[in-house]
Amino acid sequence: MNNANSTKQNRCPVYKKCGGCQLDTAYPDQLRFKQGKTERLLRRFGRVEPIIGMENPSHYRNKVQAAFYTNRSGRIISGVYQSGTHHVVGIDSCNIEDEAADEIIVGVRRLLPSFRLTTYNEDTRKGFLRHVLVRRGFQTNEIMLVLVTGTPVFPSKNNFVRAVREQFPAITTIVQNVNSLSTNLVLGERQTVLFGKGYIEDILCGCRFRISPKSFYQINPVQTEVLYGKAMEFAHLKGNETVLDAYCGIGTIGIVAAKRGAGTVVGVELNGDAVRDAITNAKANGLKNIRFYKGDAGEFMEACAEEGEKCDVVFMDPPRAGSSEQFLRSLIKMAPERVVYVSCNPETLARDLDFLTKHSGYRVKKIQPVDMFPHTAHIECVVLLTRDSL
Ligand code: SAH
C-alpha cells in the first residue's frame, strides 16, 4: 500500500546525526505539516493562505559552511557538528546545499595535507583551519570562499590560494577570516581578502546586491523572490510612499520597494557590514531616494516616533527572536497605513501580532507562508496588517 503520509524519503545517510534537516517525509507531506503548524499558531488572526512550496526543493542553499576536524587516526573530516555536541559528522554532499559549494569544501579538505595545513582543535586551541564557508550567487555564479582560521598566521598562503584557484576556477573571491575565540559563531572579527574583491554579487527581483562574508543574505534565493513578491503585493505601493525597511540586512526589501516606485525609503540594521553593503547596493541600483542607518531597530523607531516622523508602509523582517515591545509600541505611534511583517519564526510572529492587535487598531489582513527551508522544520511567513479604519 502506498500511503503518502508515511512516505519517508530516507535518502540521506546522516539525517539523524546531522540534524540540519528535521523532516524526512515526502515534500507534499512537509508542506502539509508546515501549513498545519502555521494554522495552529496564526489562525486566530485570520485565514492562512496555502503555503507556497518549491518546484524543485533540493540544493537550494546558496551558503554552505563546514567545520573542520582531525580524528584520532589523523584523518581530516569536514561537515557539521552533531546536534548538541562538538563532534563533527563528515559530509561530502548534501541534498539541500549548493553542489558547487560542497565540491569546493571537499577540494579544500583534500588539499590541506600536501600544504601541511592542520585543522584547529577547539580544546587545545592549536591548529589552523576551523571552518570553510562558501557562498554562491545563483544568478551571477560568483563564488566566495571564506577560510576561517584559528590563527592569523597562514603558512604557504599564496601557494595554497593558487592551488585552490587552479582546481576551482569558478571561485571569484577568497577571504581569510580569523576566529580565535571559543564561540559558537563561525566567523570572527578580523578578515583579509586573499583574492578577488572580498564579496560576491547576486541579482534578486531584478536588483543587484553585494554580499560581504558577514552580511545576512537569504539562503534560498529562488523562494526569496516569491517571498519579496508577496511582500510587495501586500505593500501595494502606488508611488511616492514613505517606506521604512526595518531589520533590512543588505537592504534587499527596501531596494526592491524603491525600484517599484516608493518615494523615500529608510532602512535600519544592526550589523555594520550589512549597512555598508546596503548603501553600496542602493548606489549600484541607481537609487537616490534611500538611506540606511546602523542601529537597533527598536531604538531607531522610538526616536522616529518621538520626533513625530510619519511613514506610509513599514516592512519589518526581524530575526528568529522576533521584534521588541519598544519597536512595536513606536510602530503604533508612527501609525503607518500598512505593516508588512516578514517572519522566519511563527511563534514570535504570533506573540508580536498579539501585541499589535491588542494594543492598537491594527488588524491582520493576510497571512502567507512561503517554504524557504524545505526538509527543515523552519517556517517563513509574510503578514499584512492595516489600521482598522482602512
Ligand atoms: N530583510 C533582510 C534581512 C532579514 S534577517 C533580508 O530579507 O535579507 C534579520 C536582520 O536583522 C539581520 O540582518 C540582522 O543583522 C538584523 N538585526 C538583528 N537584530 C536587530 C536589531 N535589534 N535591530 C536592527 N537589526 C537587527
Question: What is the tens place of the pLDDT at every residue in 177-199?
Answer: 999 998 888 999 999 999 999 99
Given a contact cutoff of 8 angstroms between Cβ atoms, the answer to whether 323 and 297 are in contact is yes
Nearest atom of ligand 1 to the alpha carbon of 228: 7
Sorted by sequence, the CB contacts under 8 Å of residue 13 that are 6+ apart come out as none
CA 223 / ligand 1 centre spacing (Å): 18
Is residue 191 within 6 Å of ligand 1 at its C-beta? no
Kindly state if the Cβ of 253 falls inside 6 Å of ligand 1: yes
pLDDT digits (tens, 9 = 90+) for 257-309: 999 989 999 999 999 999 999 999 999 999 999 999 999 999 999 999 999 99
| pLDDT, tens digit only, all 390 positions of the chain | 333 334 455 578 899 889 899 999 999 999 999 999 999 999 999 999 999 999 999 999 999 999 999 999 999 999 998 877 878 999 999 999 999 999 999 999 999 999 999 999 988 999 999 999 999 999 999 999 999 999 999 999 999 999 999 999 999 999 999 999 988 889 999 999 999 999 999 999 999 999 999 988 999 999 999 999 999 999 999 989 999 999 999 999 999 999 998 999 999 999 999 999 999 999 999 999 999 999 999 999 999 999 999 999 999 999 999 999 999 999 999 999 999 999 999 999 999 999 999 999 999 999 999 999 999 999 999 999 999 764
Three cell numbers, residue 93: 554532499
Catalytic residue annotation: 344
Mutate-to-test residue for ligand 1 from 209, 247, 326, highest number of ligand atoms within 8 A of CB:
247
Task: Identify each DSSP E strand in the chain by its residue range.
Answer: 63-70, 76-81, 88-90, 129-136, 143-149, 171-178, 190-195, 200-204, 207-211, 242-246, 264-269, 290-294, 313-316, 338-343, 362-370, 380-387
Ligand 1 atom 11 nearest Cα? 247
Torsion of CA 179, 184, 189, 192, to 10 degrees: 50
Pocket test for ligand 1, best of 230, 268, 269, 340 (most atoms within 8 A of CB): 269
CA atoms within 13 A on the CB side of 373: 17
Enumerate domains of the chain plus CATH numbers: 15-57+220-387 (3.40.50.150), 63-200 (2.40.50.1070)
Nearest CA to ligand 1 atom 12: 249
Does residue 216 line the site of ligand 1, with CB under 6 A?
yes
- Of all protein residues, the one whose alpha carbon is nearest to atom 15 of ligand 1 is 271
Distance 296 CA to ligand 1 centre (A): 9
339 C-alpha to ligand 1 centroid (Å): 16
> Ligand 1 in contact with 299 (CB < 6 A)?
no
pTM: 0.92
Residues pairing with 386 in the sheet: 338, 363
**Contact predicate 207/221, CB 8 Å:** no
In angstroms, the CA 333 to CA 66 distance is: 45
